Structure 1
Amino acid sequence: MQDRPCTQVAFSEITMMFARMLTLLLLAVAAPLSAAEKEKHVLLLGIDGCRFDALQKAKTPNLDRLMAEGIYSPTALILGDRYRKNDTISGPGWGSINTGVWADKHNVQGNQFKEPRFDKFPHFFHYVKLADPKARTASIINWSPIARYIVSSADVSVDTTNSEKAYDKADADAAAEAIRLLAAESPTALMLYLGEVDEAGHAHGFHPSVPPYIAAIENVDSLIGSVLDAIEKRTDEEWLIVVTSDHGGAGTGHSNGHTNPDILHSFLIVSGAGAQRGKFDEQVYIVDAVPTLLTYLGIKIDDAWQLDGHAVGLKLQQADQATSAK
């Protein structure tokens, strides 16, 4: 058999190469977006008054899954090293969680919100909108002072507090609103607050041995599961979920808990494809939530913001973007 002319061989090879390139291109177009190409979204999930040891005692498959798919600390501190004078209650706690600064800056010392400075140290939504004015932000809560004093730059702000102050129903309504919102538009940044656990602690006691307290944690976990299911339906998005609490508790209270570890310790979970895995080796703080969320979204932390927290628990390529420090 005679050899084919060189031109015929060259043409055949070029044809085959073109076919392979076309096939790869079609596969790339047809394939779902890779994790690196997916839109990034964040959820700050707050569970008021939740002790981590009680969370471990309770049956919490959804929070357990978030920990397994991320990194966590059972001893996140609710007070910093620089400033420790504010009371260990919800106002200062949620002020610090949502702004990333301690109470000497946002100036909420208790639950009265007498002279807050959220104009200078705003809710983290402000920085999300500053980086991208088209970003969608949503806050869904059922402790009204958060919406009244702390939340700003929110495209959606929902308070499900009811006149009976039935926090189990208010939590269910908040979760349902989050699910509705995720189905309708999926915000870039979502803050969801659930208050039933704190209410159960005040009524019956903050301790793993208290059945109503454990039951409240388990009910909240089931609501969280329904929200996670709604997030998982957003297959073209990659979510980072940060979970924390404003304080622990002892007896039926948590005021003046500056030296009580049962009150002073919260917890911090950073979960998602962009998170590390395991347990934090270093001390983390509730003020670390905001810079972690912002850094994940690719927002560079400006020193002028004076954040007290820093990004924690992110995979290396994202953690390298963090520029703030305590």
Structure 2
Amino acid sequence: MCRYLPVAVVVLLLATSLLSAKEKSKHVLLLGIDGCRFDALTKANTPNLDKLRESGIYSPTALILGDRYRKNDTISGPGWGSINTGVWADKHNVQGNTFKKPKFDQYPHFFHYVKKSMPTAKTVSIINWSPIAKYIVSSADVSLDTKKGTSYAEADDDAAAAAIEQLSVEDGPTAMMLYLGEVDEAGHAHGFHPTVPQYIAAIEHVDTLIGSVLAAIEKRTDEEWLIVVTSDHGGSGKGHGGGHNNPDILHSFLIVSGDAAERGKFAQQVYIVDAVPTLLTYLGVEIEDAWQLDGHAVGLK
């Protein structure tokens, strides 16, 4: 019996081994749902967000304020400033929704760090709360604001469609931020509470949109995605300002989902500023002390 394989067979086996060993490229999605309470999310019919939780790790009590600084208001400006930069409001200096003297030149949007480490990476921001695009976003190859005088529900439809369009091209995003605003709009109009039908309906509509975006990601079979989901605040009654001592406002949530994510529920306290360092760490971006990030990478294997 011949003890040696034919050369052609050896070459074929080696080629097959190399193809199977080829690593998938890494990509990230920061998914923001404005004004979404976790207790309402779990009451609503949300199969797509449920799937993200089941394929990752989550906290129902991610804090929107840190231990060092708690003077900013518990509203969208400071919240999205902190989520997108990984630093608290005493650094990025957005204390409310007026953006008087922001310091995003010193503490920039996380796309800046992606581009610094990966100059050819494609960065995409799709939002419909306009101050994010006007003040916070930087280093974006594509920056879209879908709020054009319509309701946030319609703007969310347009945002999801734009995200799917970006994911349908060969040169898709390496890092994408998608913001959906209608849950907050429903809370202000009808109440931030799991017993409010309109609030629940908004969450369920957003979940449907998220499902369509996830389906587009799943078609990109040569890529491995990490998806981080969070909100800028909760809500109480029909508002969320001055919520420094109100857990219904002070608590957001954090989901870290994907093959690289741990499974289960966070045992430690996590914060909304943890989103950025988690995304950067997954992409292989080396975080420098000079950036002064307040968050830490969490939930990665």
Q: Count the aligned residue pairs.
A: 300
Runs of 4 or more, structure 1, over 6 Å off, are none
Say if 1:202 and 1:292 are closer, same or farther in 2 by CA, change over 3 A: same
Counterparts of residues 142-161 of structure 1 (less than 5 Å): 142-161=128-147
Is 2:10 the counterpart of 1:21? yes
Is 2:280 the counterpart of 1:314? no
Q: Deviations over 1:239-266 (max 9, x none)?
A: 0000000000000000000000000000
Which deviates more from structure 2 when the two are superposed, residues 191-200 or residues 155-164? Answer: 155-164
Shift of 1:26: 3.6
| Unmatched tracts of structure 1, length 5 or more | 1-8, 316-326
Shift of 1:18: 4.1
**Partner of residue 222 from structure 1, selected from 208, 232, 246:** 208
2:56 maps to which residue?
70
Paired residue secondary structure (1:191): strand
Say if 1:19 and 1:82 are closer, same or farther in 2 by CA, change over 3 A: same
Paired AA for residue 211 in structure 2: G
Paired AA for residue 182 in structure 1: L
- Larger relative contact order (Cα-Cα within 8 Å, sequence gap ≥ 6): 2
Paired AA for residue 78 in structure 1: I
Shift of 1:23: 3.6
Q: Deviations over 1:291-316 (max 9, x none)?
A: 0000000011100000000000000x
Partners in 2 of 1:30 and 1:188 — Cα distance? 22
Partners in 1 of 2:234 and 2:98 — Cα distance? 20
Shift of 1:21: 2.6
Partners in 1 of 2:19 and 2:84 — Cα distance? 40
**Partner of residue 109 from structure 1, selected from 95, 103, 108:** 95
**Partner of residue 173 from structure 1, selected from 158, 162, 165:** 158
Counterparts of residues 259-278 of structure 1 (less than 5 Å): 259-278=245-264
Paired residue secondary structure (2:177): strand
Shift of 1:186: 1.4
Which deviates more from structure 2 when the two are superposed, residues 178-187 or residues 74-83? Answer: 178-187
| Unmatched tracts of structure 2, length 5 or more | none
CA RMSD of aligned residues (A): 1.2
1:300 maps to which residue?
286
Partners in 1 of 2:135 and 2:145 — Cα distance? 12
**Partner of residue 76 from structure 2, selected from 90, 94, 115:** 90
Partners in 1 of 2:200 and 2:148 — Cα distance? 23
Counterparts of residues 216-255 of structure 1 (less than 5 Å): 216-255=202-241
Shift of 1:25: 1.6
**Partner of residue 47 from structure 1, selected from 22, 30, 33:** 33
Q: Deviations over 1:218-251 (max 9, x none)?
A: 0000000000000000000000000000000000
Partners in 2 of 1:30 and 1:112 — Cα distance? 53
**Partner of residue 167 from structure 2, selected from 182, 192, 197:** 182
Q: Deviations over 1:74-127 (max 9, x none)?
A: 000000000000000000000000000000000000000000000000000000
TM-score calculated relative to the size of structure 1: 0.90
1:319 maps to which residue?
none
Paired AA for residue 104 in structure 2: F
Q: Deviations over 1:5-38 (max 9, x none)?
A: xxxx8xx423x2746533422423564x65xx00
Partners in 1 of 2:12 and 2:174 — Cα distance? 34
Paired AA for residue 258 in structure 2: G
Shift of 1:162: 1.7
Paired AA for residue 103 in structure 1: A
Paired AA for residue 174 in structure 2: T
Paired AA for residue 167 in structure 2: L
Paired residue secondary structure (2:3): helix
TM-score calculated relative to the size of structure 2: 0.97
Percent identity, aligned pairs only, is 76
Q: Which has the larger radius of gyration?
A: 1
Partners in 1 of 2:195 and 2:156 — Cα distance? 23
Paired AA for residue 53 in structure 2: M
Shift of 1:155: 0.2
Shift of 1:154: 0.3
Partners in 2 of 1:17 and 1:89 — Cα distance? 69
Paired AA for residue 77 in structure 1: L
Partners in 2 of 1:154 and 1:80 — Cα distance? 28
Partners in 2 of 1:241 and 1:86 — Cα distance? 27
